[in-house]
Structure 1
Amino acid sequence: MLYNYLKITIRTLFRNKLYTSLNIAGLTFGLTCFLLIGLYLFDELTFDQQHSKADRIYRVIEYQKNKSEELTIAATSYNMAEESKKNIAEIENTSRITLIGRDNISSPESKTKFLETIGFANQSLMEIFDFEAIDGTAQTALQEPNSIVIVEELARKLFNTTHVVGKTLKFDFLEAPLRITAVLKNHPSNSSFDFNLMISEATILHDKQFSENMVNDWSSHNYMVYALLKENANPQSVSQKITRFVLSHQKPEAGTTLRFRLQPLADMHLYSEDIVDGAKNPNVSATQYGSFLYIKIFALVAVFLLVIAAINYINLTTARASNRSKEIGVRKATGATDSHLIKQFLFESLLVTLMAFVLAFTLVNIILPTFNTFTGKHLSFSLQTDYRIWLYAILTTLSTAIVSGSYPALLLSRLKPVALLKNVKLHSKTGLSLRKSLVVFQFTVSVVMMIATMVLFLQVQYANNKNLGFNKDLLVVVDINSGQVRKEAETIKTEFGKIAGVNEVSVTSRVPGEWKSIPTVKVKTEGNTDNPQVAYVIGADENFAKTFEVQLLKGRIFTSLRDSSSIILNETAARALHIQEASDQLVEIPEMAFGGKYFPVNESKKPFKARVIGIVKDFHFQSLREKIAPLVLAYSQNPVQNIDYFTARIEGKNIQNTLKQMENTLIRIDPNHLFEYHFLDQQLARFYADDQRRETLLIWAALATIFIACLGLFGLATYAAEQRIKEIGIRKVLGADVLNLTALLSRDFLKLVLIANVLAAPIAWWASNLWLQEFAYHISLSWWVFAGAAILSFLIALATVSYQAIKAAIANPVKSLRSE
């Protein structure tokens, strides 16, 4: 029976080569897009699942709320981690990680130095997580003092080999060398861990200051803590026990609410948008998390692409039902049952879908290298790929075949043999209405995709081109990575200024448009008993306004070291403090924070008193997703944060020569200092890199949607022209011209596109507005976006239909009427 089905299917497919090609092409494109998006989503949804205990591992999140702010931070104290596992029965183990900055690392075998982030962790990190060691034993690698684990990439960088256990490394900030105890396999792309090295916590346990701080540390945010719960433990109950346990040892300030919760390891990547990454040095960029919103969006896009391809198959198969009337009639007359016919048509659908899958598999592997480069992933689709991906791919292919073939199979199998053998044309109002509805659905999805793509493109362009309140062009930001360079900052700044290609130079703790964490302070006017305002703080020198071209509104800028107790406010901070003029008003700054708990500015615990000498126009010192917040510009030598950057405004000519001279200047001061720089405008663009990637993905998905829909429209237009060939011949004989005939054949299809636009507009408007709420500053939706999408969809549909319409209209009527 299967052989018979196969033989009939092959004959049918070859007899209708055009429609077979259209169906296979549509399904191939649909499956290709579905598989590519599916591979991407699978990678996102399986983040951190490579650890065998992943379902029992949780990140400890601390939540604080008071009258002035709310803080959700992925960091907590030493004792919370150490003591909770001893006192809460459900906790099997806890691990701690703390990052303290960057320093030069080198090996005795090489004079080459690299800047690396310094991380300390206790041995439990290697016990809880499955970090695979390619040299040494991970499970015991962090037990001893002065031991370090590194990843294979860093091992090759330093030694050109991964067999380096027992060798030593040296950090500039540590006197003793560190012995390598394990080399870990590079972290997979779908891992939240990205460290290149980790030093044993035992290395600093003997440090007197560390030991003293550790004993009483119940309130700091110095550690990222992961808890491994016992089997069947309730994480919500454990969270409550942790909260009660910590509160029994630490009393928060009056009016402050403190509680803890456990975030599943599997949720870290997609559900951390509102969580501050704690225990991280401010010099380390924040982890780029994913977003479950975009997971849902792209999952819907993938499904719609596949559904649109299936709709093509349904439309073309049902439209051509009458062309198979005699075949079906003969088979029914000779004893074929409805079930036989249903199996036959489902078999045809399955074979076409399988052919499309083979082509899609080939296309995916051709596209994947480029796709991986674009997304920063390491996706693959081969026989070695995770069995779950193959399971989804096979189920998707079978489902597509069944969905595509079911309606045509049921429709064709119900036809009566007598009517079929009399060659009665099949006209079903239900079938016609369904086909029209499916075409409307296809173009509704296509138009929504077009509008969404245009909105995303316009928002990214808006973000990249918006006036930020400072001039970001030709600004070179040079990192300060050593105490010697920091000490000689004024000398270096002066030398930079002497370089021919350098116009202005400023020294700051942070830069406008900062991508790293910016410290905050509590500030209030002297004598004010109200709750202090929370403001960000950036240390700046007297050249700040000139270098960044920030507009001074009132007062003056810094002049020299005598302004070390002076501050400048942005407009938002001035409004919050009710300061309208900069006239040396005294303000108090009692506390500061680096993304965590507030602590006194001075060791004496007395507020830092400063004079307000200026007010500058608001400028965007964070992403456009963030509303401009109060900002305090303190003099570069301030008690909150040391200087961290030189920023030079340079000429657009001979840039490489200018950079080389700047590097030579630094090396003269500190030969071990690595010249690390970037252009500010390029760094700011990274704020929206994910949006640009999504924009590109949406553009390709929209093009694929339109292409698949047009394949179906082309097939239906071809069939409509064939069905009306005699009518067209008669009309031509009676004097109809090509334009009239083309309009006649195109009109019905363009009506469907019009209906699709009417349906798509409100859906796209709602979805676009919802997405734009992510940005504090965004575009307004304009009518021309919707009009442009409508016009484009009409032109695409007209171009698709008119080819067949014109072809039929210019045909010789004698040929079509000869049989009459």
Structure 2
Amino acid sequence: MQPPKFADRLLRLFCAPHLHEEVLGDLHERYVVRANQLGEKRARRRYWLDVLAYVRPEFIRRKPTEFPNPTNAIMIRNYLKITFRTLTRNKLYTTLNVAGLTFGVTCFLLIGLYLFDELTFDQQHSQSRRIYRAIQHKKGPTEDLTIAASSYKVSEESKKNIGEIENTARIVRTGRANLTNPENKNTFQETIAFANSGMMEVFDFETVDGSSKSALKEPNTIVIVEELAQRLFNTSQVTGKNISLESMDKPLKITAVLKNHPRNSSFDFNSIISEETLLHDADFAEWTSNWASQNFMTFFLLKEKANLDVAARKITQLLNANAKLDVGNTMSYSLQPLADIHLYSENIVDGARNSNVAEMGKGVLLYVKIFAVVALFVLLIACINYMNLTTARASNRSKEIGIRKANGAFQSHLVKQFLTESMVVTAVSFLLAIVVVNLLLPAFNEFTNKQLSLGFSTDYRIWLYALLALAFTGILSGSYPSLLLSKFSLLSLLKNLKLQNKGDLSLRKGLVVFQFTISVVMIITTIVLFQQIRFANSKNLGFNKELLLVVDINSAKIRSGAETIKAEFSKIPTVKNVSTTSRVPGEWKTISTIKIRPEGNADEHKISYLLGVDENFAKTFEVRLLKGRNFMNTSDSSSIILNETAAKLLNITNVSGQLVEIPERAMGGSYSPLSTGQTFHARVIGIVSDFHFQSIREKIGPMVLAYQNNPVYPIDYYTSRVEGKDIPGTLAKMNEVLTKIDPTHILEYHFLDEQLARFYAEDQRRETLLIWTALATIFIACLGLFGLATYAAEQRIKEIGVRKVLGASIFNLTALLSKDFLKLVLIANGIAFPLAWWAMNRWLSEFAYHIDIEWWFFAVAGSLAIVIALATVSYQAIKAALVNPVKSLRSE
């Protein structure tokens, strides 16, 4: 029997707050008596009359100042005093709350630092919001290319003719060469880049010696980074000193030493030579005359309030007005914000920070989104854990709350008290989390290859976000418990009645289902990641990647002495086979592509990759020859071998010396004539089985194997299959062979299987991060489950006592308390399985070759969640079942 709710609301509106409990209590008691005597209908009418009778001056709501109120300072001091007493009196629950929140906040902060670093790439430049990279879009009958490049003319003339552009920076890489300090002969093989003076004007590169703004204005000058200066000179104070480049006659004067690039920078150069140095070079003159070329990476600094789309359209118009494009080709430009380069360059050639390892950048944006959601979920789960543990203690605090209400405490006072407790626990957890994060950061930075920090020098935005997270966590964690515990009536509290209703318990169960849903999804995700990486590392690549030692060719003498070097390498006892190639399978550099079609065929040219190889390639790499024959010697200079995919592309099934024509090649950009200027006419002598020459994210493409002295691309590597013993001795002997041919040559090598593993290094990092986050999530969820089990045991303590007196065993009682929680975990599994299946299918779609999602992934994850949940709940259930029934049934 409930009195009219609207009447109660009306009474609360006009009745003074301090009289609510007294007036409503009297009215409710009178209503129950009348309902029993006169019937509920008449009782409701009389109730309305009673409510209206209270509309008198002594009852009408008064302003707070009309009755005494303690000052805010006194109340805050009281809240803190009660909070301290409550937390110290309940050490177990306080420890569980602090532990859960500390775990959650630690994970949140670590992932947050990682994401902040990813999302703030290149923002260290003061004009970053006005800097844009030129993106060239070229379409034609046989190519559809989007590349982060422009021609010299587009870069230079846009600055002069387009009003929206304030300045232009451009940089070009020309390959690798030896840089030498003439004083001590220290020599290092470095990637050589040239840039105009605008590179130092548009960007803010910090210097440790010299001035960057004027560093690249004169010819024969070079800017190096601090790390290279230390290697060359053993000091960073080297402005004014000279270094020599093997391909240049004149020395290069160092005009500035830059600080090492931060990890969240799209620039990774160690040195830049002034563009003025090349002005009289014949090759450079050719670059500067072609409007449609793609030699430079160009950055435009737009003027304040300049329209981005207008600037891009004008650049395209300028290009089309001056460029001479082949029939059927179109070209245009767009401008990419500097801040978007890191995360939004997946489909742009040379778009990633490290263009040599573009595979590593794939899917970065997807992972950023995933980790952002995971970080929020971990923090939310920690808050849910606090709610469950706090409400589990509700019955223990019923009399305290009742006495407070009897002494005049309003609901708002109780809400503030519980929110104060929540904020104190959250603040302590945040302080502990900051300590833990700083202890973990050295290992975390080494693992993620970043330079993250959380201290006084940390970006203020990180601290601002952390403080907002602190406030959010404290308020969210304390909101539900404070509202729940403060809304009960004075009568229920003082009589120690059951402090719950069906909706409250359902909400808490729903929160536990949510916790375990996230935990199970993360367990399945971790299993799939592990299996896919294992698959990638163990997949048959079509060649044997083990113990293949790859040595770079870093000088013209080492390239021209190939036959001598191969013969000398073969004499080393631990070397089994030696081959020379232009690139190697699993290449991290750009593999050249060609246009190819059968002789006499009028169809459009097909696109294929090309590797220059020698007669030892198939034997060294253990690639299977399916049809025809292998290369023999230089008499095969005009011969080629196709892989299965290329043979299908060209419709060649039987090898009988078919002729093909190869007129053009490309190295990641547009196609251009071969170095000879003439079409390469080749005959097909064999077909080999398909083998992976890229990451397994990519389908095996068509591949042409041309003999090593082909006109497309020269040899660049020696690859030896070696024995797995005395590797240092093998390398020393190889170095002796190379230095006899070229004393200045620097030995640069790697094992191919290690290089292939780098394709999936980021995935392995992400897998490990998810594993640790999943473990933390499960731990926090278990704390929440422990809280709910404690709450259930407290609420059913008398029922357990009665059942025990009537003969129930400990096993029966444990099963009774555990089965409800088992249902929650089963529901969580039912929700988590389809979510995980959808997410993992989306991730696996990045790979052309991937595992199938097996049923046992879900079975293992679900069973693990059930076992963990039962282990957590069983402890509390057994503890409740062991309580003496006399004690639990005792009347208080």
* C-alpha deviation, 1:563, in angstroms: 0.4
Structure 1 residues 290-321: Cα deviation after superposition (integer angstroms, max 9, x where no partner): 72111110000000000000001112222322
Shift of 1:729: 3.2
Matches within 5 A, 1:797-808: 797-808=869-880
Q: Which of residues 278, 293, 310 is equivalent to 1:204?
A: 278
The question of 1:787 aligning with 2:885 is answered: no
Aligned to 1:135: 209
Match of 1:675 in 2: 747
Q: 2:595 aligns with which of 503, 518, 522?
A: 522
1:624 is matched with which residue? 696
SS across alignment from 2:603: coil
In the other structure, the counterpart of 1:377 is 450
Q: CA deviation at 1:799?
A: 1.0
In the TM superposition, what are the counterparts of 1:532-547 in structure 2 within 5 Å?
532-547=605-620
Counterpart AA for 1:78: Y
One-letter identity of the residue aligned with 1:783:
W
Native 8 Å contact 1:222 1:279 kept in 2: no
The alpha-carbon distance between structure 1 residues 31 and 50, as it changes in their structure 2 partners (threshold 3 A), is same
Change (3 A) 1:326 1:721: same
Equivalent position SS for 1:621: coil
Deviation at residue 19 of structure 1 after TM alignment: 1.4
Secondary structure of residue in 1 paired with 2:263: coil
**Does the CA contact (< 8 Å) of 1:550 and 1:619 recur in 2?**
yes
- AA aligned to 2:426 is T
1:136–1:183: 8 Å Cα contact kept in structure 2? yes
Q: For residues 92-107 of structure 1, what are the structure 2 equivalents within 5 Å?
A: 92-107=166-181
Distance, in Å, in 2 between the alignment partners of 1:50 and 1:294 is 23
- 2:368 corresponds, among 288, 295, 311, to 295
Aligned: 1:656 with 2:656: no
Picking from 424, 441, 462, the partner of 2:514 is 441
2-structure distance, mates of 1:812, 1:430: 31
Alpha carbons of structure 1 residues 239 and 475: separation in structure 2 relative to 1, 3 Å: same
Q: Pick the aligned partner of 2:796 from 716, 724, 743.
A: 724
Q: Distance in 1 between matches of 2:795 and 2:527?
A: 38
Q: 1:58 aligns with which of 111, 132, 135?
A: 132
Q: CA deviation at 1:616?
A: 0.6
Is structure 2 residue 817 aligned with structure 1 residue 752? no
Alpha-carbon shift at residue 726 of structure 1 (Å)? 3.4
Per-residue deviation at 1:373? 0.4
> 2:231 and 2:556 mapped to 1: Cα distance?
25
* AA at the equivalent of 1:386: D
User: Would the aligned equivalents of 2:392 and 2:790 in 1 still touch at CA under 8 Å?
Assistant: no
Q: Which moved more, 1:660-669 or 1:116-125?
A: 660-669
| 1:192 equivalent in structure 2 | 266
**Deviations for 1:321-346, whole angstroms, at most 9, x for unmatched residues?**
22211111111111111111111111
Cα deviation digits, residues 680-700 of structure 1 (max 9, x gap) = 000000000000000000001
Give, as a single letter, the amino acid of the residue that structure 1 aligns with 2:98. Answer: I
Q: Could you tell me how far apart the structure 1 residues matched to 2:726 and 2:230 are?
A: 35
Given that residues 602 and 608 in structure 1 are in contact (C-alpha distance below 8 angstroms), is that contact kept between their aligned partners in structure 2?
no
Q: State whether structure 2 residue 118 is matched by structure 1 residue 40.
A: no
Note the alpha carbon deviations across 1:731-762, whole angstroms, 9 max, x for none: 33333222222211111111000000000011
Deviation at 1:808, TM superposition (A): 2.7
Show the 5 A alignment for 1:332-347. 332-347=405-420
What is the CA distance between 1:287 and its match in structure 2? 8.8
Q: Aligned partners of 1:803, 1:514: CA distance in 2, in Å?
A: 55
Change over 3 Å in CA distance of 1:706–1:279 after alignment to 2:
closer
Note if contact 1:98-1:279 (Cα within 8 Å) is conserved in structure 2: no
Q: For 1:176 and 1:167, how far apart are their aligned partners in 2?
A: 13
1:556 pairs with 2:629: yes
Asked if residue 252 in structure 1 is aligned to residue 334 in structure 2, the reply is no
What's the offset of the Cα at 1:603? 4.1
The structure 2 residue matched to 1:156, chosen from 200, 221, 230, is 230
Matched, 1:234 2:307: yes
Query: What SS does structure 1 have at the residue aligned with 2:408?
Result: coil
Aligned to 1:28: 102
SS in 1 for 2:824: helix
Map Cα deviations across residues 366-391 of structure 1 (whole Å, 9 max, x no partner): 10010000001111101221111110
Measured in 2, the distance between the counterparts of 1:280 and 1:455 equals 28
**d(CA) in 2 for partners of 1:289 and 1:577?**
32
- Contact 2:287–2:293, Cα closer than 8 Å, also in 1: no
Partners of 1:757 and 1:393 lie apart in 2 by 32
Residues 1:12 and 2:104 are matched in the alignment: no
The answer for unaligned runs of 5 or more in structure 1 is none
Report if aligned partners of 1:542, 1:557 keep a CA contact under 8 Å in 2. yes
- Alignment partner for residue 480 of structure 1, among 535, 550, 553? 553
Verify the 8 A CA contact 2:359 2:695 in the aligned structure 1.
Answer: no
Report if aligned partners of 2:132, 2:299 keep a CA contact under 8 Å in 1.
Answer: yes
Mapped to 2, the partners of 1:740 and 1:499 lie a distance apart of 75
| Contact 1:508–1:540 (Cα < 8 Å) also in 2 | yes
Q: Distance in 2 between matches of 1:75 and 1:524?
A: 28
Identify the match of residue 179 of structure 1 among 253, 256, 263.
253
Q: Do residues 576 (structure 1) and 636 (structure 2) align?
A: no
* Matching residue of 2:837: 765
Distance 1:275 1:44, change over 3 A: same
Structure 2 contact 150–298 (Cα < 8 Å) conserved: yes
Whole-Å Cα distance in 2 between the matches of residues 209 and 133 of structure 1? 32
Contact 1:278 1:596 in 2 (8 A): no
Quick one: distance in 2 between partners of 1:819 and 1:269?
68
Q: 2: distance between equivalents of 1:734 and 1:365?
A: 56
State the match for 2:468 in structure 1.
Answer: 395
What do the CA deviations read for 1:571-621 (whole angstroms, capped 9, x no partner)? Answer: 1111010000111100000110111111112544x3110000011111100
Identical counterparts, % of pairs: 66
- Is the contact between residue 346 and residue 352 of structure 2 (CA under 8 Å) also seen in structure 1? no
Q: Are 1:694 and 2:766 counterparts?
A: yes
CA distance in 1, matches of 2:357, 2:84: 59
Query: Conserved in 2, the CA contact under 8 Å of 1:464 and 1:685?
Result: yes
Q: Deviations over 1:7-65 (max 9, x none)?
A: 11111112222211111111111110000111111111110001011011001011112
Query: Does structure 1 retain, via aligned residues, the 8 Å contact 2:268–2:353?
Result: no
When normalised by structure 2's length, the TM-score is 0.90
What is the letter of the counterpart of residue 173 of structure 1? S
SS of the aligned residue for 2:223 comes to strand
Counterpart of 1:496? 569
Q: Deviations over 1:225-244 (max 9, x none)?
A: 11111111111121111111
Give the greater-gyration-radius structure (CA).
2
Paired position in structure 2 for 1:633: 705
- State the Cα distance separating 1:481 from its structure 2 match: 0.3
Matches within 5 A, 1:285-434: 285-286=357-358, 289=361, 291-434=364-507
RMSD value over aligned CA atoms?
A: 1.6
1:90-124 Cα deviation digits (max 9, x unpaired): 11111111111111111122122111111100100
1:11 is aligned with what amino acid? R
TM-score normalised per structure 1: 0.98
The CA distance in 1 between the partners of 2:719 and 2:434, in whole Å, is: 50
Instruction: State the distance in 1 between where 2:353 and 2:835 align.
Output: 42
**Cα distance in 1, alignment partners of residues 310 and 874 from structure 2:** 67
Q: 1:280 Cα shift?
A: 11
Q: Which runs of 5+ in 2 are unaligned?
A: 1-74
For the structure 1 residues 293 and 91, does the alpha-carbon distance in structure 2 shift closer, same or farther, using more than 3 Å as the test? Answer: same
Residue equivalent to 1:78: 152
- Say whether the 8 Å CA contact 2:268–2:354 is kept in structure 1: no
In the alignment of these two chains, the number of paired residues is 817
